[in-house]
Amino acid sequence: MFVRQEVGRVRPRIAVLGYEPLGQLFRQVLLGRDLPYEVQFVQALFEEALPAARELERSGRADAFVAGAVNYPLLRDRLRLPVVPLTITGYDLLRAIARAADHGHRILVMSYRERRLPAEDLRAVFRVQVDEEVFTSWEEADGIVRRRRDAGWTVLVGPSVACELAGQHGLHGVLAYGPDTLLRALQQAYEMATARLAEAQRTEELRTILQFAPTGIIAADGNGRITVFNPALERLTGIAAGEAVGRPADEVVPALELGRVLESGAPSLAAVAQLGPLEVVTNRVPVTVQGRPAGVVATVWDARSVEESEVAVRRVRHGRGLVARFTFAHVVGESPALRQAVAAARRFARAEQPILIYGETGTGKELFAQSIHNASRRAGRPFVAINCAAVPESLLESELFGFEEGAFTGARRGGKPGLMELAHTGTLFLDEVAELSPPLQTKLLRALQEREIMRVGGDRLIPVDVRVVAATSRDLDAEVAAGRFREDLYYRLNVLELRLPPLRERREDVPLLVRHFLAGRPQALVEAAVAGIAAHLGDYPWPGNVRELENLLSRFIALADTEEGKTPPAALMAELARQLQSRARTRRVRSAREDEVRRIAEAMAAEGGNRAAAARRLGISRSTLWRKLRELNGPGV
Res. 5: pLDDT tops 50 = no
Q: Which fold has domain 2-86?
A: Rossmann fold (3.40.50)
Q: What is the pLDDT of residue 393?
A: 79
Three-state DSSP class for 73?
A: helix
Best-predicted range by mean pLDDT (451-455, 483-487, 568-572) = 483-487
Res. 4: pLDDT tops 50 = no
End-to-end CA distance of the chain: 101
Res. 395: pLDDT tops 80 = yes
Per residue in 39-77, pLDDT (tens digit) is 999 988 888 899 999 999 999 999 999 998 888 988 988
The rounded distance, in Å, linking the Cα atoms of 408 and 418 is 15
Of 279, 339, 269, give the one whose Cα is nearest residue 305: 279
Name, in order, each residue with C-beta under 8 angstroms of 209's C-beta and a sequence gap of 6 or more. none
Three-state DSSP class for 277?
A: coil
Mean pLDDT of 197-218: 88
Name, in order, each residue with C-beta under 8 angstroms of 429's C-beta and a sequence gap of 6 or more. 366, 369, 370, 373, 383, 384, 385, 386, 469, 470, 471
The rounded distance, in Å, linking the Cα atoms of 7 and 10 is 8
Q: What is the pLDDT of residue 414?
A: 57
The rounded distance, in Å, linking the Cα atoms of 360 and 544 is 8
The rounded distance, in Å, linking the Cα atoms of 229 and 211 is 10
Is residue 67 a contact partner of residue 49, using CB atoms and an 8 Å limit? yes
Instruction: Give the mean pLDDT of the chain.
Output: 86
- CB-count exposure of residue 4 (10 Å: 0-12, 13-18, 19+): exposed
Q: What homologous superfamily is domain 213-306 in, according to CATH?
A: PAS domain (3.30.450.20)
Q: What homologous superfamily is domain 321-501 in, according to CATH?
A: P-loop containing nucleotide triphosphate hydrolases (3.40.50.300)
Q: What is the pLDDT of residue 586?
A: 58
Q: What is the pLDDT of residue 115?
A: 84
Per residue in 465-514, pLDDT (tens digit) is 999 999 999 999 989 988 999 999 999 999 999 999 999 999 999 999 99
Three-state DSSP class for 553?
A: helix
Mean pLDDT of 222-241: 93
Per residue in 232-284, pLDDT (tens digit) is 999 999 999 999 999 999 999 999 999 999 998 889 888 889 988 889 999 99
Residue type, 492: R
Q: Where in the chain is the domain with CATH 3.40.50.10660?
A: 90-176
Q: What is the pLDDT of residue 595?
A: 66
Of 294, 149, 160, 146, give the one whose Cα is nearest residue 227: 294
Q: What is the pLDDT of residue 311?
A: 47
Q: What is the pLDDT of residue 8?
A: 41
Strands 268-275 and 226-229: unpaired
Distances (CA, A) of 279 to 88, 218, 271, 300: 67, 17, 11, 10
Res. 1: pLDDT tops 50 = no
Where does the pLDDT of residue 307 fall: very low under 50, low under 70, confident under 90, or very high at 90 and above?
low
Q: What is the pLDDT of residue 201?
A: 86
Res. 581: pLDDT tops 80 = no
Helix (H), strand (E) at residue 237? helix 231-237
Per residue in 111-167, pLDDT (tens digit) is 988 887 765 566 566 678 888 999 999 999 999 999 999 999 999 999 988 999 999
Where does the pLDDT of residue 560 fall: very low under 50, low under 70, confident under 90, or very high at 90 and above?
confident
| φ/ψ bin of 67: left (φ > 0), alpha (ψ from -120 to 50), beta (otherwise) | beta
The rounded distance, in Å, linking the Cα atoms of 391 and 436 is 10
Q: Where in the chain is the domain with CATH 3.40.50.2300?
A: 2-86
Where does the pLDDT of residue 100 fall: very low under 50, low under 70, confident under 90, or very high at 90 and above?
very high
Mean pLDDT of 579-599: 67
More confident site: 633 or 529: 529
Residue 467: strand pairing partners? 427
Mean pLDDT of 539-545: 87
Where does the pLDDT of residue 594 fall: very low under 50, low under 70, confident under 90, or very high at 90 and above?
low
Q: What is the pLDDT of residue 313?
A: 57
Output phi, psi for 99, to 5 deg.
-70, -40
Distances (CA, A) of 381 to 293, 313, 325, 374, 454: 35, 11, 12, 9, 22
Q: What is the pLDDT of residue 592?
A: 58
Res. 617: pLDDT tops 50 = yes
Least confident of 96-105, 139-148, 419-428, 450-459: 450-459
Residue 408: strand pairing partners? none
Residue-wise over 465-481: b if at least 16 C-beta within 10 A, else e? ebbbbbbbbeebeebbe
Q: What is the pLDDT of residue 50?
A: 93
Look at the chain and count its residues. Answer: 637
The rounded distance, in Å, linking the Cα atoms of 345 and 427 is 15
Q: What is the pLDDT of residue 636?
A: 45
Residue type, 575: E
Of 441, 431, 429, give the one whose Cα is nearest residue 485: 441
Helix (H), strand (E) at residue 209? helix 179-212
Residue 224, number of CB atoms within 10 A of its CB: 19
Res. 429: pLDDT tops 90 = yes
Q: Where in the chain is the domain with CATH 1.10.8?
A: 506-588
Per residue in 311-343, pLDDT (tens digit) is 455 445 545 567 889 999 999 999 999 999 999
Where does the pLDDT of residue 231 fall: very low under 50, low under 70, confident under 90, or very high at 90 and above?
very high
Q: What is the pLDDT of residue 633?
A: 65
Give how far the C-alpha of residue 182 lies from the chain's centroid of Cα atoms, to the nearest Å: 42
The rounded distance, in Å, linking the Cα atoms of 468 and 23 is 62
Give how far the C-alpha of residue 594 lies from the chain's centroid of Cα atoms, to the nearest Å: 53
CA dihedral 430, 432, 436, 442 (to 10 degrees): 50
The rounded distance, in Å, linking the Cα atoms of 358 and 373 is 17
Quote the percentage of the chain above a pLDDT of 90: 45
Name the CATH architecture for the domain at 506-588.
Answer: Orthogonal Bundle (1.10)
Q: What homologous superfamily is domain 90-176 in, according to CATH?
A: PrpR receptor domain-like (3.40.50.10660)
Strands 172-175 and 155-158: parallel
Strands 64-67 and 129-135: unpaired
Distances (CA, A) of 633 to 556, 610, 625: 41, 17, 12
Q: What is the pLDDT of residue 413?
A: 62
Where does the pLDDT of residue 569 fall: very low under 50, low under 70, confident under 90, or very high at 90 and above?
confident
Question: pTM of the full predicted structure?
Answer: 0.48
Q: What is the pLDDT of residue 125?
A: 66
